[in-house]
């Protein structure tokens, strides 16, 4: 009997979690290690902030998925791996012996020059932060005449969070000053038409965009930019990109230039073929992948097949990243910008398409009784 340990219950592990029976019926043990009972779907996070979704609309009860199918669940965070001994060390001090180990622990948002622990500063990850941010924003809108929100980050996350905050204020029927800081140009990795459409939408709604400006400090209710500009702020949201989990470097596992676990075409660690990974926490050495949700979703079935093959001692299947993918950016006002193959469209229909795709994904992996407490 082999022991499969899943560290994290993210997008790329969902097919494996739904198919734990395939391991159990062959006599193998499965354990899920996660610091929380739920995994939240990041693609719907800004919609949650805006009030378009409830928390239960975008979460998977991963503890229930695991335990109802005969797996063990350990509420803890993976701290490091002792690969030579096949031990996963947890933040609780406990160790878990594994035969096959798979990581899907996502990534983190750096606080950068901003001090961690500031009550008025929120990072966009983990997605649960957006639940707290929504409550904070509503409190500010209720108590202040004109609260100021500063969003640091000119990429997709910053774009969607700024739009969501405007929608939240609109629904509350209260004014708010929203400023987005983009270190370079807004949405600079995408076609210029995306930037123009976003700027036009934001200008129409009074959302200020400061390009070529980065957040460098937070002092006495002001956001300070690297240009020395002081912007009055009641709340600051850090949406300026992600960084790797320190676990892999701490464990002396091979990593890519981004610090994530380096994996081969089988989604396995080159030096330790019994260690796998998927999603934002890996560096796909065959062909580095963009940090977009489509790849964890595409990795789902292959990761499940290869984990099953690994515990059975069989040959794995290579992962094919696939061709061009669709991107839809939620502008927060029930409109969105759609990008595929260099073509750019926008409008309400793009938002409804995103909503349909997201809800279909949730329906595919949410189990019966998803948001009820797991069985004892």
**Please, are residues 226 and 141 in contact by the beta-carbon 8 Å criterion?**
no
What is the CATH classification number for the domain harbouring 88?
A: 3.50.50.60
**Please, are residues 89 and 80 in contact by the beta-carbon 8 Å criterion?**
yes
Lookup: tokens for 248? 């892999």
pLDDT tens per residue across span 4-32: 999 999 999 999 999 999 999 999 999 99
Tell whether 143 and 178 lie within a shared domain.
Answer: yes
Tell whether 218 and 284 lie within a shared domain.
Answer: no
CA distance 157 to 330: 10
Rounded percentage of the chain residues whose pLDDT exceeds 70: 98
Tell whether 291 and 270 lie within a shared domain.
Answer: yes
Confirm whether 153 is domain-assigned: yes
Tell whether 236 and 139 lie within a shared domain.
Answer: yes
CA distance 285 to 210: 36
Confirm whether 162 is domain-assigned: yes
Lookup: tokens for 211? 């390009």
Residue whose structure tokens are 């204020």: 169
CA distance 342 to 339: 6
Count the Cβ atoms, other than its own, within 10 Å of residue 373: 10
CA distance 32 to 43: 23
Q: Answer with the one of 179, 206, 240 that is the final residue of a domain.
A: 240
pLDDT of 53 higher than 80: yes
pLDDT of 47 higher than 80: yes
The residue segments making up the domain with residue 13 are 3-35+76-108+243-323
Q: Answer with the one of 240, 272, 294 that is the final residue of a domain.
A: 240
Confirm whether 97 is domain-assigned: yes
pLDDT at residue number 142: 97
pLDDT of 371 higher than 60: no
Q: Cα 192 to chain center, whole Å?
A: 25
Helices assigned H by DSSP within the chain: 14-18, 20-24, 45-50, 62-67, 129-143, 156-172, 192-205, 247-250, 294-312, 348-365
pLDDT of 372 higher than 50: no
**Mean pLDDT (the chain, rounded):** 94
pLDDT tens per residue across span 209-268: 999 999 999 998 899 999 999 999 999 999 997 889 999 999 999 999 999 999 999 999
**Please, are residues 127 and 42 in contact by the beta-carbon 8 Å criterion?**
yes
CA distance 171 to 180: 20
Q: Answer with the one of 193, 218, 240 that is the final residue of a domain.
A: 240
pLDDT at residue number 311: 98
Confirm whether 9 is domain-assigned: yes
Q: Give the pairing type, strands 72-75 and 222-225.
A: unpaired
CA distance 21 to 107: 29
CA distance 271 to 260: 15
Tell whether 31 and 180 lie within a shared domain.
Answer: no
Tell whether 207 and 104 lie within a shared domain.
Answer: no
368 pLDDT band, cuts 50/70/90, is low
Confirm whether 205 is domain-assigned: yes
CA distance 92 to 73: 14
Phi, psi for 140 (deg, rounded to 5): -65, -40
Span 159-175, mean pLDDT?
Answer: 97
Lookup: tokens for 246? 């320190």
Q: How many folded domains does the chain comprise? A: 2
Closest CA to 259 of 277, 271, 246: 246
Closest CA to 280 of 321, 328, 245, 320: 245
Tell whether 104 and 249 lie within a shared domain.
Answer: yes
**What does the angle CA 177 – CA 181 – CA 187 come to, to the nearest 5 degrees?**
115
Confirm whether 352 is domain-assigned: no
Helices assigned H by DSSP within 173-264: 192-205, 247-250
pLDDT at residue number 241: 79
pLDDT tens per residue across span 101-153: 999 999 989 888 887 777 899 999 999 999 999 999 999 999 999 999 999 99
Confirm whether 60 is domain-assigned: no
Phi, psi for 47 (deg, rounded to 5): -65, -35
Span 331-358, mean pLDDT?
Answer: 96
Lookup: tokens for 337? 């910008």
Tell whether 143 and 99 lie within a shared domain.
Answer: no
375 pLDDT band, cuts 50/70/90, is very low
Closest CA to 341 of 362, 328, 351, 326: 326
Tell whether 159 and 94 lie within a shared domain.
Answer: no
Tell whether 28 and 96 lie within a shared domain.
Answer: yes
291 pLDDT band, cuts 50/70/90, is confident
Give pTM, 2 decimals.
Answer: 0.93
Tell whether 127 and 227 lie within a shared domain.
Answer: yes
pLDDT at residue number 376: 35
Tell whether 214 and 313 lie within a shared domain.
Answer: no
Confirm whether 371 is domain-assigned: no
């Amino acid at each position: 009997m082999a022991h499969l340990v899943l560290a994290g219950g993210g997008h790329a592990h969902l097919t494996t979690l739904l198919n734990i029976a395939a391991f159990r019926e062959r006599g193998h043990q499965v354990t899920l290690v996660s610091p929380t009972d739920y995994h939240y779907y990041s693609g719907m996070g800004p919609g949650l902030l805006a009030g378009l979704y409830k928390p239960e609309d975008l979460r998977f009860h991963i503890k229930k998925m695991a335990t109802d199918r005969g797996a063990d669940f350990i509420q803890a965070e993976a701290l490091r791996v002792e690969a030579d001994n096949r031990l996963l060390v947890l933040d609780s001090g406990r160790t878990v012996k594994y035969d096959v180990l798979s990581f899907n622990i996502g990534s983190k948002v750096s606080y950068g020059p901003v001090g961690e622990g500031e009550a008025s500063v929120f990072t966009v990850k983990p997605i649960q932060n957006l639940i707290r941010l929504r409550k904070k924003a509503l409190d500010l809108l209720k108590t202040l005449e004109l609260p100021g929100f500063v969003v640091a980050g000119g990429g997709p996350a910053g774009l969607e969070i700024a739009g969501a905050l405007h929608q939240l204020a609109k629904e509350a029927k209260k004014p708010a000053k929203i400023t987005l800081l983009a270190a370079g140009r807004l949405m600079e990795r995408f076609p210029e038409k995306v930037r123009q459409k976003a700027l036009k939408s934001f200008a129409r709604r009074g959302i200020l965009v400061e390009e070529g400006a980065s957040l460098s400090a937070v002092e006495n209710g002001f956001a300070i930019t690297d240009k020395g500009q002081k912007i009055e702020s009641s709340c600051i949201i850090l949406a300026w990109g992600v960084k790797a989990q320190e676990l892999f470097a701490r464990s002396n596992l091979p990593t890519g230039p981004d610090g994530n676990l380096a994996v081969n075409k089988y989604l396995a660690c080159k030096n330790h073929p019994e260690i796998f990974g998927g999603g934002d926490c890996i560096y796909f050495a065959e062909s580095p992948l963009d940090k977009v949700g489509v790849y964890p979703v595409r990795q789902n079935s292959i990761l499940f097949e290869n984990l099953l093959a690994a515990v059975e001692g069989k040959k794995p299947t290579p992962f094919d990243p696939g061709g061009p993918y669709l991107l839809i950016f939620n502008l927060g006002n029930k409109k969105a910008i759609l990008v595929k193959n260099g073509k750019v469209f926008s409008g309400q229909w793009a938002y409804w398409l995103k909503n349909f795709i997201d809800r279909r994904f949730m329906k595919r992996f949410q189990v019966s009784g998803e948001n009820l407490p797991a069985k004892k």
